[in-house]
Chain A
């Protein structure tokens, strides 16, 4: 059996058997499922109906509060009467009290409650209605604009849509931005996380001196590459499990709570469509649109856009390139991390080597704001082609669409560079791994390459 396979097997199995591997593997899908499930569970939770008394001494709000699905407003005569009611009648939840005006417009209103504070829903609804009623008063009395006219005015929202004139496809730049940034950060973190695992593994072998025995059985290059490949496979396993388990978790969630999901997902849609048919005249439609806008239901349109935007992105290509850039970006950096690990006896000393060598990687993250501004600009193009930054930067650009020659050039350069890195790392590793207690400097590294290493 090839010895490098034995090394890979050990590196892989010892890590995959660790409880920490499984904790991390399980935590991520659970988090993803939770992020997906919590809003749905919250939205589907039956809301408690609240009854609120309105006492208006200012004379501006009487009869103006609009009851909704969750809250019913009742006008009450005096505040003393209302307070007695609140104390004795269980089904009452709160009193809105607007004192008599001292100036033209009231500046304060009060929300009284008994023992249990009213829910945020009640508070915000009362607040919104107060603002809206007051606004209508000002509009009508000062400017002579009716609430109906106002609804028409504010319903004129215009949306800026981006479109590629060659393909005729919509741009959906924001969605692409988010996906690009996620991909870039994911590769960055993976390279860092698994790269430093390689470094720690190398240091463990050096400081425990077991390397002396092992290099009698395998070549230092085999030992180093076995470790790099083994840990890389751990990384790929982790990603695959994350994707798989997240899918299972989400699928399971949908399956076990099918009613809930359907209910929540259809709720908005039916509300919109029923209201839409009722809105016969243009005026009503405009009014409805304005109401919808105010209620934040414009979100539904955004969800529509999101779905459309997501479907415009080629996920097959992205996954393919993600795997490519992860594998080769990892190989490039992991071999350098291995070299750094062989040079030092403890992690603190390793920083003098890891910091300079990871600067390109960090730079590609730090320069992301510049890339956001111009995904096809000069900085973006160069970063996505230079092999040390391309694994992060190219993935960021991919959702926006990159000229094919740039992708090919970037991939070819990366494929040409990683063997060079491995070669250089192996040279350092072979020399340094058996030198215990020696503090290496950059000058020593230079001498290793001049060939006066002694090995």
Chain B
């Protein structure tokens, strides 16, 4: 689905990504893990063509990724944002049209989604009238509305209460079942363990661990993902024994 080959990116004197190579398989949930400032967000921005890498290549569906391919991505950034003064429905349609949907399709799909998430009565409300969690729900719908082949969620559960987090999890799994490939960036190891098929751990701008979740867990018997994460990042198991 997506092949990330030897991506390097430098900001001034700071190397944000160093020779990162990853493979995201079709129809799988790919966990992009790592501590703050490891380079996850930079990598996601490069995949979205928001910034250009200094070197390296992205292969999307077997061909070098173009700007047109970005339209096949749905991206939910960690820093959420919507136009506060715009009405929910109007805004969602605008964002969907920017992704290439026509107005009628966008409207129909939006009503389907809003019905399913039981938020259809928000349609004519301004975004600023919604709570933060409600805004995130709207943004989630906007992200998936154009039915992208690749979804990128950056900390999708932050800010959600357990009930809504569960609804979201259910929808993510439903999208996966429909064949959508998902990149899932998080610090939250239990949810990564629950959802991911493959994972990659990025630390200090480099991939330090990657592969199918099951294989990795087999390498570290008796440890949960949290422990594996901490041990790998600190590079010293003994300091972090319970």
Residue positions of A touching B, CB distance < 8 A: 1, 3, 6-7, 10, 14, 204-205, 208-218, 434, 436, 452, 454-455
Complex CA gap A14/B139 in Å reads 20
Chain B residues positioned under 8 Å from A3 (CB to CB): 98
Given contacts A6-B97, A218-B98, A454-B12, A208 and B81 within 8 Å (CB-CB): yes
B81 touches A216 (CB 8 A): no
Given contacts A10-B94, A454-B10, A454-B12, A213 and B81 within 8 Å (CB-CB): yes
Other contacts beyond A204-B83, A209-B81, A454-B11: 9, CB < 8 A:
A10-B94, A210-B82, A212-B79, A213-B81, A213-B139, A217-B98, A434-B51, A436-B79, A455-B52
Contact bitstring B67-97, A, C-beta under 8 A = 1, else 0: 0001101010101111111100000001101
Given contacts A454-B51, A455-B51, A209 and B80 within 8 Å (CB-CB): yes
CB distance from A206 to the nearest CB of B (A): 9
CB distance from B145 to the nearest CB of A (A): 12
Complex CA gap A1/B93 in Å reads 14
Shortest beta-carbon contacts, A-B, top 10: A209-B81, A210-B81, A217-B98, A208-B81, A209-B79, A454-B11, A212-B77, A216-B48, A455-B51, A216-B75
CB distance from B101 to the nearest CB of A (A): 11
Q: Which residue of A lies closest to B13 (CB)?
A: A452
Chain A residues positioned under 8 Å from B77 (CB to CB): 209, 212-213
CB distance from A15 to the nearest CB of B (A): 10
Size class of the B contact interface (CB-based, 8 Å): 20 to 34
B109 at the interface (CB under 8 A from A): no
A208 touches B84 (CB 8 A): yes
A14 touches B48 (CB 8 A): no
Q: Which residue of B lies closest to A209 (CB)?
A: B81
Q: Which residue of A lies closest to B73 (CB)?
A: A216
Q: Which residue of A lies closest to B16 (CB)?
A: A454
B187 at the interface (CB under 8 A from A): no
A211 touches B81 (CB 8 A): yes
Partner of A452, one of B12, B80, B97: B12
Given contacts A14-B86, A454-B10, A454-B12, A217 and B80 within 8 Å (CB-CB): no
Contact bitstring B20-38, A, C-beta under 8 A = 1, else 0: 0000000000000000000
CB distance from B57 to the nearest CB of A (A): 18
Complex CA gap A212/B82 in Å reads 10
Contact bitstring B41-74, A, C-beta under 8 A = 1, else 0: 0000100111110000000000000000011010
Chain A residues positioned under 8 Å from B84 (CB to CB): 204, 208
Complex CA gap A7/B94 in Å reads 9
Chain B residues positioned under 8 Å from A214 (CB to CB): 95, 98
